[in-house]
Amino acid sequence: YEFKEVIFYLKKMKIIKTNIKDLFIVKQKPNKDGRGLLRETYNQKIFKKKFNFEYFTFSKKNVLRGFHIQIKYQQSKYVNVLKGKILDCVVDLRKNSKTFGKSFKIILSEKNALGLYIPRGFAHAYYSFEKENIIYYKLDNYYRPSLERGIVWNDKDLKIKWPNKKPIVSDKDKKLPGLKEYLK
């Protein structure tokens, strides 16, 4: 019986393509009852991606993190929100990509049960809407702080409208260069 139940859940996860090559949304199906819920966030049979590193972040309301990218030993990321709601935003920095410099935004939340798969070569940022936001990551390469770079969140060349013009941003992220300077 348990095996049939697992097959049932597998049929509920759906991969949705975006207008940017290799960037996709994963629609998950929360299965709720009186005890709570179960939500399958990852299944290698459907994803066909391997990850070797995981972590989570906790962000308070109005926190904006990013844009971050690891320049060497780049990382593909799979982002899910376990609690709260975020505006997740990525910028394609793959030099030979037809969508180089283009951004993509999506709301990820515990309620909409969406995940975002971000391929290597993208800068990543997010803005937190709720009092408590828990974001869970799966990555295909290890985090190396000395290789992390980024682009300032409010760069005018990116033309991204954030929900708050004065979010809570770390000192490190405030000092990140603009896109043009980053590309030099």
Tell me whether residue 42 is one of the annotated catalytic residues. Answer: no
Query: Phi/psi of residue 71, each to 5°?
Result: -75, -40
Tell me whether residue 137 is one of the annotated catalytic residues. Answer: yes
Query: Among residues 42, 117, 127, 137, which one is catalytic?
Result: 137
Query: Phi/psi of residue 146, each to 5°?
Result: -70, -15
Query: Among residues 42, 68, 78, 182, which one is catalytic?
Result: 68
8 Å CB contact between 61 and 86? no
DSSP string, the chain: -HHHHHHHHHTT-EEEE-SSTT-EEEE--EEEETTEEEE----HHHH-----EEEEEEEETTBEEEEEEESSS---EEEEEEESEEEEEEEE--TT-TTTT-EEEEEEETTTTEEEEE-TTEEEEEEE-SSEEEEEEEESS---GGGEEE--TT-GGG----S-SS-B--HHHHTPPPHHHHH-
Q: Which positions are annotated as active-site residues?
A: 68, 137
